[in-house]
Amino acid sequence: MQTDARDIAAIESLLAFWSDAGVDACYEDAPVDRTIVVTPALKAVTRATASVMPVVDMGDATADARRLAAGADTMEALAAAVADFKGCELVGMGARGCVFGRGDPKAPVLIIGEAPGAEEDAAGEPFVGRAGKLLDRMLAAAGLTDQVFITNTVFWRPPGNRTPTPQEQAVCAPFVGRAFALIRPRAVLLLGAAAAKSVLKTDEGILRMRGQWREWRLAEGDVSAPVIATLHPAFLLRQPQAKREAWADMLALADRLARDSG
């Protein structure tokens, strides 16, 4: 039996909506780890890479990331440190190279997304595909075009554009934190559930978190900033009716920035 393409699209859209809303489990006869949705294609990638990929010691890799991040005194040096880092398992899973960031390294707004996709992997810059173009249009409409630096929680494309695992995000976190410390933004915008959960250390769904101002404070040093989470632009492409909420979040960001600088 063939399934109508429109039905497949509707199912994919619904599953994406549930994922962004924080639904990560359902009841079955036996427990199932649903932190990663593995499609048959991703299973093939996993089998293919398992024989060539060494097991990375998370403790050693994270310590190495902290050392490299701490030694970077500029955003340019940090980008070079990330490019030299081999401790994230994503490095050997088919990504063409490191995708660090784009924008003004002295920007008042730091934007953090989830992970590079195929177009970002090819271009070497984050948010350059359809979702990135939508983000740029929203930033322009809110008057924030030249006031942002954009990066992700991980810097290599996950196989099949899957969501990065918490472990992959954790090993890259020292670099994200160092970017935060170097830029010292006046506000931070988190795009989507994966970024919000990683930065804010929470299991809340994005629909519950979005639109709320919170604080991001580094464990070391006197670095903090107000943070607002919103829906990921890729989600907005699948669910256009949600653009109203994301636009409200963008306006709240622009308003806070204007008030803080006024």
Can you tell me whether residue 222 is helix, strand or coil? coil
Residue 139 token pair:
């930033």
Q: Which domain holds residue 63?
A: 5-261
Cβ–Cβ under 8 Å, residues 243 and 210: no
pLDDT tens digits, 87-119? 999 999 999 999 999 999 999 999 999 999 999
pLDDT tens digits, 6-57? 666 667 666 666 666 656 555 444 455 544 444 555 555 444 444 444 455 6
The pLDDT score that the predictor gives to residue 219 is 83
CA torsion sign for 240, 245, 250, 255 is positive
The pLDDT score that the predictor gives to residue 220 is 78
Q: Domain with 159 in it: what CATH number?
A: 3.40.470.10
The count of structural domains within the chain is 1
- CA dist 233 and 164 (Å) reads 17
- Within 10 angstroms of residue 186's Cβ, the number of other Cβ atoms is 16
Residue 151, beta-bridge partner list:
112
Q: In 64-99, which positions are buried (b, 16+ CB within 10 angstroms) versus exposed (e)?
A: bbbebbeebeebeebbebbeebebbbbbebebeebb
Average pLDDT over all residues of the chain: 87
Predicted TM-score (pTM) above 0.85: no
